[in-house]
Structure 1
Amino acid sequence: MTDITLILPDQSAIQCHKVVLMAASPFFETMFQSGLKEGAEKDIKLAFADSGTIRSLVKFFYTGDIKLTAENIKAIVAGSEFLCCKHLKAHCEEFLMGNVGLSSCIDYYQFGKVFNLKVLIKTAFDFILSKFQQFMEISDYNKLTEDELAEIVSCDRLNAENED
């Protein structure tokens, strides 16, 4: 029998077990064991992500399975960060690293910096360095900050025909 109801942003509800939520997420463990007011309530309103993302996260807590796509990956990373789910965040980082390409390397590089995804940052940065000529021709390099561009062009590992 469930003992907690999660109320989602669209006002739909998910019946859950506190013990499952606590085992899967330090966020919920703290909420339910620290004496916080929310921990004693039967209905918990969640608004840290959209309803679909929260549903995916709860399903993951119960099944250990989550469908990662280009469309949902950023929301899942943000949700895993909010819920302090390091193992899920690492799984997401692996997914992102496998999808680094000319059209995504800047975005993933910057996204990795926001969420401290160190391996993704390195992977995207190394990709930019190794494909710099192609990157400059077809990528949106103007999305890079001045500091990021300076970091790239000053790197000794930059694969460029010349520095002009």
Structure 2
Amino acid sequence: MTDVTLILPDQSAILCHKVVLMAASPFFDTMFQSGLKEGAEQNIKLDFADSDIIKILVEFFYSGNIELTSGNIKEIVAGSEFLCCKHLKAHCEEYLVDTVGLSNCIDYYKYGQVFNLKLLIKTAFDFILSKFREFREISDFDKLTEDELVEVVSSDRLNAENE
């Protein structure tokens, strides 16, 4: 028997078990154990992400399975950060690291900085260094700040014909 209802941004509802939410997320564990008003409520309104992402996260809490895609990965990382799900965040980081390429390396580098994804930051930066000749031709090159660009061009590992 469920004992809490999650109300999503689109006003749909998901019937849940507090014990499952608490086991999966320190956010929910704190909410339900702290004695705060929200923890005693039957209906919990969530608006930290869009409804589809919250549904994916809740499904993950129950099944342990999640389908990460280029279309949902950033929102899943943000949701895992909000819900304090370190294991899910680490799983997402592995996905991002495995998909670093010319078209996304700057974006992933910056995203890694926002969410403190150290392996992603290193992987994206190393990719930029190793593919600098190709990388400097793409339009995203100008997304690097002056400091980031200096860090790239001053690296001993930079793969460039003429620095």
Specify the TM-score bucket, using the shorter chain as the normaliser. over 0.9
Q: Which residue of 2 aligns with 1:109?
A: 109
* CA shift digits 1:29-63 (9 cap, x unpaired): 00000001000000000000000000000000000
- Computed over aligned residues only, the root mean square deviation of the Cα atoms, in angstroms, reads 0.6
Equivalent residue pairs, number: 163
TM-score calculated relative to the size of structure 1: 0.98
In the alignment, what sits opposite 2:64? 64
- Who is 2:35 aligned against? 35
Q: 2:79 & 2:138 partners in 1: Cα distance? A: 32
SS in 2 for 1:44: strand
- TM-score normalized by structure 2? 0.99
Distance 1:162 1:55 in 2: 50
The answer as to whether partners of 1:102 and 1:139 remain within 8 angstroms in 2 is no
The residue type equivalent to 2:29 in the other structure is E
| Gapped regions of structure 1 (runs ≥ 5) | none
Amino-acid identity (%): 79
SS in 2 for 1:5: strand
- Given that 1:109 and 1:120 are in contact with CA atoms closer than 8 Å, whether structure 2 keeps it comes out as yes
Alignment of 1:10-159 (within 5 A): 10-159=10-159
Moved segments of 4+, more than 6 Å? none
Deviation at 1:139, TM superposition (A): 4.5
* Structure 2 SS opposite 1:96: helix
Q: How far off its partner does 1:138 sit?
A: 2.5
Q: Deviations over 1:45-103 (max 9, x none)?
A: 00000000000000000000011000000000000000000000000000001110000
Asked if the contact 1:33/1:39 (under 8 Å) is kept, the reply is yes
Deviations 1:95-118 (A, max 9, x none): 001110000100000000000000
Distance 2:139 2:113 in 1: 19
- Structure 2, unpaired ranges of 5+: none
Q: Describe the SS at the equivalent of 1:156.
A: coil
